[in-house]
Amino acid sequence: MTESPRKILVIQLRRIGDVILTTPALAALKARYPEARIDFLVEPSGAEALEGNPHIAELLVYRSSGPLDYLRWFARLRAQRYDWVIDYMGNPRSAFLSFFSGAALRAGPAHVGHRWAYNRRLIQSTTTQYAALEKVLVLAPLGVSSNGLDLLPKVYLLSKPAVLEDVIALAPASRKETRRWPAASYAALGRSLREKTGSRIRVFWGPGERALAQAVVDGVGPGAELCPETPDLAAAARQLAGCRLLITNCSGTKHLASALGVATLTIHGSSDPASWTPAHPRHGGVRLDTLFCIGCQKNACPYALECMTQLSPETVLAKALALLGSAKEARA
């Protein structure tokens, strides 16, 4: 039997999508241990995604410019006298931070090479689970249950409820070629969506992605608009929150949309829909399941990138129209 903790530190240092996907675990921890104080350690790039989260007592923003800063963080965490540290990041830096925290219970991934840092190892499910659900399931030995829990991630970035617009959002960028559906395919999809639904098409982009987004807007033609530059996550949320549907590659934008309650359709190549798409009528995925290498998890393709180039706009359109119908029924 695990003794109820008074102070818990959760660690997920980086990647906005991964940080957002940790929010159901925070809710589950707070539901199981309502008297516990929960702090969260995160790097600056992911901190905004957690602003206003009601389950977090203090957001610790990890900055380190060298070994001395690293040592200061060891001392800072140890001074907090955490009962539990739960490390979802599982890289060498977060493992050392967990170990030197001095917490009585230090939980982290069982499959990593530096698992020596943890005295409670989190064992992954034997079958692939939605990542947000998996982050809750691994806490079962700590007395935390997913039963009756809303497993969709949540962000608290909007000061007022979004107004629903007749807009379908496209986010065509990805850092990884095996997750980047071609701009011409997005443009063809946008034209068909505009003709079939009458909705406006809004194309999202981030730093260094404007040319790609503009190519999609130009390819769609009348009825398409380039999303304004969004200097921070809150600005992106305001542009996205009122959209009917987001169609995108597997990316942080998709997880932000899910957390805002926006329906999503994700185009998958190397990534696994089962890991990144919640089992919910407002969310779906599409990929070429007939390819022998689909879901390869590679960042560079050793073949001809067929998972992206051979996935037709017509296939994605059919999924999008079905999802729009399901999303409408779910809202009714």
Cα-based distances in Å from 75 to 81, 100, 102? 10, 8, 10
Query: What are the tens digits of pLDDT across the range 118-172?
Result: 999 999 999 999 999 999 999 999 999 999 888 899 999 998 888 999 999 999 9
CA distance 159 to 312: 39
Closest to 131 measured CA to CA, from 151, 112, 147, 114:
151
Look at residue 332 and tell me whether its pLDDT is greater than 50: no
With CA atoms as reference, report the closest residue to 244 among 134, 156, 324: 324
For helices 210-220 and 183-197, the axis angle rounded to 10 degrees is 40
Tokens 């969310």, located at residue: 283
Cβ-based neighbour number of residue 332 at 10 Å: 5
Provide the pLDDT confidence category of residue 2 given band limits of 50, 70 and 90.
Answer: low
What pLDDT is attached to residue 328?
57
Tell me how far CA of residue 281 lies from CA of 25, 93, 322, in angstroms.
21, 38, 10
| CA–CA separation, 268 and 257 (whole Å) | 17
Residue in the structure block whose two tokens are 């104080």: 37
Mean pLDDT value of segment 291-302: 94
Helices then strands (H, E): number in the chain? 13, 12
pLDDT at 325 over 90: no
Looking from the CA of 154 toward its CB, the CA atoms found within 13 Å total 15
Return left, alpha or beta for 133; rule: phi > 0 is left, psi -120 to 50 is alpha, else beta.
alpha
Q: For the chain, what is the radius of gyration of the CA atoms?
A: 21
pLDDT digits (tens, 9 = 90+) for 62-115: 998 888 998 999 999 999 999 999 999 999 999 999 999 999 999 999 999 999
Average pLDDT, the chain: 94
